Structure 1
Amino acid sequence: MAEALAEGGTKSAATRGGAGPSPGVLEQLGAVADAVLYEGYLLYPYRRSSAKNRVRWQFGVLFPRDWVEADGPVTPGISGSADSWYQQTECLLRVRQPDSARLRVRIRYLQMQRKQVEEAGRPVESLRGDDGTVHLTFDEALPRECEIEAPLDELLRGGRTVAVSATEGEDVEPLPHDAGRVVRSREEIRAETTVSAERLSDGLCRIRVTTRNTAPAPAPRTPRDEALRRALIATHTLIGGDGVEFVSLIDPPADLEALARACRNEFTFPVLGGEAGDTGPVLLSAPIILPDHPQVAPESPGDLHDAAEIDEILTLRTMLLTDEEKREARATDPRAAAILDRVDTMPQEVFERLHGAVRSLTPTPPTAPTDPVPTGVTPPASAAPARSPAPPAAPADSVPTWVTPPASAAPAGPPAPFAAPADSVPARVTPTASAAPARPPAPPAASAGPARPPAPPAGSADSVPTWVTPTASADPVRPPAPPARSAAPARPPAPPAASAAPAPPWATPAASADRPAWWQEGADDGLSPTTDTVLVDGVPLGGGSRVRLRPRGRGADAQDMFLAGRTAEVAAVFHDVDGSVHLAVTLDDDPAAELNNWYGRFHYFRPDELEPLEPAGSPDELSAPAPAAAPTRHTTDSETPATEAE
């Protein structure tokens, strides 16, 4: 299939443009930069009612500092999508023309714009005009950019700081026949960018570009949707120049590896543009990870905004939207309407080009032959035996031989649920090592005999490998049994005595004098996921308790953002081997809650991420059907519920 990514490439964009020393290169990289600018702007199925289009703006978001650090300082990491108040790019620059070298830096971002539909002077969520056209209230965005140009000598002497702000404004669009009006409003964006340079040796410099949000912060607990009105969204940087070239930080020349590793890039990832090589005339520093020399796939007729999508699949899906879904998408945003227009009028020959392009095939270098073992040579007794070849793949519906259901396992249940609809909410499943074991635990050993040898390789059930030397008490036929564990995940020991120093109710030690460590027999005694409770704000939470979800994140986890503020019911309390506690919950408004509960598929949250609620049926809360009792088994990674179709 023709992916939206060409070799080392990314999506095409709705606009083209560029300026600078090499217009062809900057124009090509400008298309990639536009794809970064609108990445995730609006996701398939492009409708406002879609759950994933109700939580937006997840890449390169720079908030006012006091708001984003209300719960503590931001910490740079590998996640460029984490919310921050600044973005820093450092790169290496080779100077080819010292006397005339100049640098051009372009800062690009989106400014959020509120599109509010009004009828008779009052705000409404939607409005249908006399001509049948539907108008929807929605958050749009406007592209902003600022360019800084300076001689390299000036940057070496101390740098330059430039405002990259955007003004506030309001536009009013009357609707035909006095049906109402659409008001588009924007708040002021205040930000600044500092560009500086440091000489490392003759002909080599380090460039630093730092962009900061300097706007006054809203109140600390202002909802994220409101704080976004003062944020720089999808912030990224383009750097070019005259008489200079940039060094790859991904694959630098051997003599510059140490200096490349010393560059500090925070909340952004710089890559080379232009033709392939370890240096280039232009650099893109984006909040999403790209390879060096990204390009636009020539088969891609336009942007679909949907994270590293495959054009053919999304085009087919968009074609299959119903007429009503297309009407809603067109009313949601002009960019969604442009996608529908392009898909509906796409010539057959253009569509056919989306299928079958392959650019990643490269010759495989020959592998050095392995020295064979001469015949007649007997390996020493301590040598590991030669492994037998892997058995053929089992049928899709077969049960692996190592799966031994515990005695308390539930009988076979209904078939797996159908894939979630396109506008469903992806599940946020964050099991810990003990909460979701990769394999169902085996029942405890019948006796406390000596430890068994490691499991033999695949073979007949009753054969004994030649390298296994059974002891008098060992059973040479059966594979070894794991440490004794109950059907529930392993638990840490009970909390310390009441006289000990107080600790958070969900923090328990890994071992104590009256309870063995989690890997020892008896560690789970007295623990019950369905009846245990944990105190949160003075309220004991356990199976059946109702809570509101308050994930503690800064936007790096999109699944947290989907679930923030939703109400749920606690199914079980799970203790982790590291001494922490997680509560398994089912969402009140999840149509598959009962089925997920039956399978043991939950969302997991720490106690400090939950807000206790009154019991179901109170006036301010919607009641929800109580799910069945939580089973003691856990989901594995392969059992996670179907997420929203991309």
Structure 2
Amino acid sequence: MILGGPPSFEAARAVADAILYEGYLLYPYRRSSGKNRVRWQFGVLTPRSWLAPAAERDTGVAGSADAWRQWTECLLEAHEDATVHMRLRFLQIQHRSVQARLPGTGFEPVDELVVHGDRHLTFDEAVPREYDVTASVADIRRAPHVADVIAPAGEEIVPLGDLGRVVRTCRPVSARVRLSARPADSPFPLLRLRLAIENTACSPSAGAPRTEALRVSLVATHSLLGVTGGSFLSLLDPPEWAAAAARNCRNIHTFPVLAGAEGGRDVLLSSPILMDDHPRVSPESPGDLFDATEIDEILSLRTLTLTEEEKREARATDPRAAAIVDRVEQVPREVLARLHGAVRSPRRPATPETVVVDGFRVTRGSRVRLRPRAHGTDAHDMFLAGRVGVVQAVRTDLDGSRHVAVTIEDDPAADLHEWYGRYHYFAPEEVVPLKEPEP
């Protein structure tokens, strides 16, 4: 069933698009570059028949290895009348063949053709695909909701005058989606929602070239899950009562995180790339560069240093590469200045965290005497023994341990450190509060 998803999916689209094209092409965006000869590294769902037995084993949560399925499990608070929306997104490989006209009426595939000064190269492109599935919580609790997805084959012919043509072809890609839910083991009502996505193609067989398997594969596969009348729980930072249920969730070649509007819990992004809850694209970024692990400023400046011949090849390699080169050449100076650096305050909870030390409540603004322990601490902390610190935050790490973040009271650069969010961290037992105890 193909239905529209909730409007809140749009709030997660920028990050989802970055996942869709991560690694699509890498700097210097030329076909001749070695790093662009081995492509499609994330979220690749190939036919099961093509995978060797060793590669078929489900290992890890990240989708940086070829697999035949993705399996997502997450936690959902919802009543029977709630509705779950699922949007499957992937790339379908499209081969671009440049063909020279032969004497008569025939054509011959060639690696490159120059027409009126423009280069045309044989290369692989990709077509973005989206498929939506909607089901009620009551239905998927009774039985899995199964939907078959088919991205059709296609062919497009673009004439190049009397010299030749460009032929774009793609083979059909098929997949099956299963959406189900069952009660989770928790003290309060909670569902474990499961989404399974499988490549259902029956060929090629093991031993065929990877390029052949990619023709019928889902590439950069990820999904958006939304709920109307319910909310998801974070698997990274679940409430204490749901921590055991979160640990029991099994995720194969995917990593689900809360997405959409900051603080919202109605959208979840299941990604082949590890990330934190509520990921977002930097507002300073002028556009996608297909490499979220790099710095936009560096990639932009490097692209500007390409020779005219290198830019010409990049433009001929792929329309998206041409768009990057054109955009970088036209970036205003003030936009490049914004790329040079931005300072943002660290995310803080709406209510400041506190910790009680020797009957005193320590929170933001408290003054404490620093007493670093003699063993098992940073050697630099010993130079701060006896100094007075001003508490800027009380933080909890992934293991549940508390840490007191302080700036030094008589440090002339304390205001600057606070502005940058650069603090000294001490355990609660390493500080002595300097105020009256709480009543």
TM-score (norm 1): 0.52
Within a 5 Å distance, the mapping from 1:441-480 to structure 2 comes to none
**Contact between 1:102 and 1:151, CA under 8 Å: does it hold in 2?**
yes
Shift of 1:251: 0.6
* TM-score relative to the length of structure 2: 0.76
Tell me, yes or no, if the aligned pair for 1:168 and 1:186 is still in contact at 8 Å.
yes
Match of 2:351 in 1: none
1:226 aligned counterpart, secondary structure: helix
CA distance in 2, matches of 1:125, 1:119: 10
Q: Deviations over 1:142-176 (max 9, x none)?
A: 01111001111111110211112211121111113
Correspondences of 1:347-426 after superposition (within 5 Å): 347-359=332-344, 361=346, 369-370=370-371
Residue 85 of structure 1, CA deviation: 0.2
Secondary structure of the residue aligned to 1:29 is helix
**Residues 45 and 329, structure 1, Cα contact 8 Å, conserved in 2:** yes
Structure 1 contact 107–236 (Cα < 8 Å) conserved: yes
CA-CA distance at 1:30 after TM superposition: 1.1
> Which residue of 2 is the match for residue 194 of structure 1?
178
The 1:388/1:348 distance shift into structure 2, 3 A limit, reads closer
Distance 2:373 2:154 in 1: 76
Residue of 294, 310, 319 corresponding to 2:304: 319
| Unmatched runs of 5 consecutive residues or more in structure 1 | 1-17, 374-383, 391-646
1:232 aligned to which of 183, 193, 218: 218
- Letter of the 1:194 partner, please give it: R
Q: Which has the higher strand share?
A: 2
The alignment partner of 2:151 has SS state of coil
Output the aligned Cα RMSD. 2.5
User: How far, CA to CA, are the matches of 2:54 and 2:216 in structure 1?
Assistant: 19
More displaced 10-residue stretch of structure 1: 195-204 or 230-239: 195-204
1:65 aligns with 2:48: yes
Q: State the shift of 1:70 in Å.
A: 4.5
2:148 to 163, 177, 191: 163
1:99 deviation in Å?
Answer: 5.3
Question: What CA deviation, in whole Å up to 9, does each residue of 1:308-350 have, x standing for no partner?
Answer: 2211111111111110000000000000011111111112222
Hey, what's the Cα distance between the residues in 1 that align with 2:168 and 2:343? 44
What residue is the counterpart of 1:118 in the other structure?
Answer: 99
Query: Is contact 1:19-1:26 (8 Å) kept?
Result: no
Residue type at the aligned position of 2:178: T
1:207 lines up with 2:188 in the alignment: no
**SS state of the match for residue 77, structure 1?**
coil
Question: Is 1:259 matched up with 2:245?
Answer: yes
CA distance in 2, matches of 1:85, 1:337: 33
Which residue does the alignment assign to 2:422? none
1:109 corresponds in structure 2 to: 90
Cα distance in structure 2, aligned partners of 1:292 and 1:72: 29
Cα offset, 1:75, TM superposition: 2.7
* Cα distance change on mapping 1:270 and 1:388 into 2, 3 Å: closer
Corresponding residue number in structure 2 for 1:144: 129
Q: Is the 8 A contact 1:107 1:164 kept in 2?
A: no
Distance 1:72 1:246 in 2: 32
Change (3 A) 1:72 1:321: closer
Asked if residue 303 in structure 1 is aligned to residue 288 in structure 2, the reply is: yes
- Kindly state the Cα deviation for residue 301 of structure 1 after the two structures are TM-superposed: 1.3
Q: State the distance in 1 between where 2:282 and 2:247 align.
A: 30
Q: Residue 33 of structure 1 corresponds to which residue in structure 2?
A: 16
Q: In the aligned structure 2, how far is the partner of 1:240 from the partner of 1:368?
A: 48
Aligned equivalent of 2:234, options 231, 248, 271: 248
> Structure 1's 40 and 238: CA in aligned 2 closer, same or farther, altered over 3 A?
same
- Structure 1 partner of 2:27: 44
Sort the Cα spacing of 1:371 and 1:179 in 2 relative to 1 into closer, same or farther, 3 A. Answer: closer
> SS at 2:324's partner residue?
helix
State the Cα deviation string for residues 473-527 of structure 1 (Å, max 9, x = none).
xxxxxxxxxxxxxxxxxxxxxxxxxxxxxxxxxxxxxxxxxxxxxxxxxxxxxxx
Match in the other structure for 2:158? 173
* Counterparts in 2 of 1:108 and 1:387: CA distance versus 1, 3 Å: closer
Distance, in Å, in 1 between the alignment partners of 2:369 and 2:183 is 44
| Aligned residue runs from structure 1 range 461-500, under 5 A | none
Pairing 1:219–2:205 present:
yes
- Contact kept? 2:80, 2:137, Cα under 8 Å: no
Structure 1: which amino acid aligns with 2:26? L
How far off is 1:26 after superposition? 1.8
Asked if structure 1 preserves the Cα contact closer than 8 Å seen for 2:297 and 2:340, the reply is yes
User: Larger radius of gyration, structure 1 or 2?
Assistant: 1
Q: Is the 8 A contact 2:5 2:87 kept in 1?
A: no
* Bigger relative CO (Cα 8 Å, ≥ 6 apart): 2
CA contact (8 A) 1:28 1:295 kept: no
Among 77, 80, 92, the alignment partner of 1:94 is 77
Percent identical among aligned pairs is 53
Quote how far apart the aligned CAs of 1:217 are: 2.1
2: CA distance between counterparts of 1:195 and 1:354? 42
Give the letter for the 2:370 counterpart: P
Partner of 1:570: none
The Cα shift of 1:362 comes to 6.4
